[in-house]
Chains A and B, each alone.
Chain A
Amino acid sequence: MSLRSPLGRVRGLGAAREGVGHWWHQRLTSIALVPLTIWFAASLVSLIGADYFTMREWMGSPLAAGLLILFLVAGFYHAALGLQVVIEDYLHHEGAKIALLMAVNALALVLALTGVLAVLSVLFAG
């Protein structure tokens, strides 16, 4: 006999109330990050020691700007999801856990936004 309600079974969201959403988004972002990371690492190699104008020329090209924004968004989302699992595994005080999760998500959001806006401002400055 199952103690789960028929509605709960249909929704299939389990005790964490989000089903496989977290797991699946971690995988989707990781697959997107494979080519993005290879591109970013190659760019980093070519930018070692780059001066201000070389850097802005690179950041301001539409292709690099677009890929950078995708890298930042996918990367910080992936990082927030990963850090969430680490915090949930090791931090067992409920209040501290929720507070730290909020802080990590807020920081990831602010950092991703700062990075994206920096790229856009260089792109539109021309």
Chain B
Amino acid sequence: MSARNRPLSPHLQVYRPQMTSILSITHRLTGVALALGAILLVYWLAAAASGAEVFEDARGLIGSWIGRLALFGWTLALFYHLCNGIRHLFWDAGHGYALPDAERSGWAVLAATVVLTLAAWIAGYAMRGGV
């Protein structure tokens, strides 16, 4: 095999971003963000195990505008990583590699992410009448 015909890693300075490549790096970014956000999840669970006062502090922090913004971002990242992860599992099984298929499934992931995130927050607020 000649070196010229081998596939190359993207040379980022001269690489034209495509929808599929942006979704790919977003999968990695959301994965890292979810791992960081999981620290807050453990804090929330540990607070519930540590007594009413500690839990009220955690509830106040999560209920503040910055807490709610972080939680919104975390759920957005969660639904994206979930939907795109399922897309990856189909690739692992050998399906959907053709470029039009990869682009179509990419748009489906984006649409599902927005729909699921909005549905979750609308349902959450409807059930509790606000945080």
Contacts and interface: CB of A to CB of B under 8 A. Distances in A.
Nearest to B43: A114
Interface in A92-126: 108, 111, 114-115, 117-119, 121-122
Contacts of B49: 59, 117-119, 121-122
A118 B46 contact: yes
A55 B48 contact: yes
A114 B46 contact: yes
Interface residues of B, number: 38
> Mostly helix, strand, loop or mixed at chain B's interface?
helix
B32 interface: yes
A52 B48 contact: yes
A52 B131 contact: no
Contacts, number: 95
A41 interface: yes
Contacts of B85: 30, 33-34
Contacts of B35: 79, 82-83, 108
Interface size class of A (residues with CB under 8 A): 35 or more
Interface in A42-61: 42, 44-46, 48-52, 55-56, 59
Nearest to A108: B35
Contact of A46 (B46, B52, B92, B127): B127
Contacts of B79: 41
Interface in B49-78: 49-50, 52, 55-56, 59, 63, 75, 78
> Mostly helix, strand, loop or mixed at chain A's interface?
helix
B110 interface: no
Interface string A62-103: 000000100010011001001100100000000000000000
16 contacts: A27-B89, A38-B82, A44-B124, A49-B59, A49-B63, A49-B130, A55-B55, A56-B48, A59-B49, A76-B38, A79-B35, A86-B32, A115-B42, A115-B45, A118-B42, A118-B49
Given A48-B124, A114-B46, A119-B45, 10 more contacts: A33-B85, A44-B124, A45-B121, A50-B128, A59-B49, A82-B28, A82-B31, A111-B38, A117-B49, A122-B49
Interface of B: 28, 31-32, 34-35, 38-39, 41-42, 45-46, 48-50, 52, 55-56, 59, 63, 75, 78-79, 82, 85-86, 88-89, 92, 116, 120-121, 123-125, 127-128, 130-131
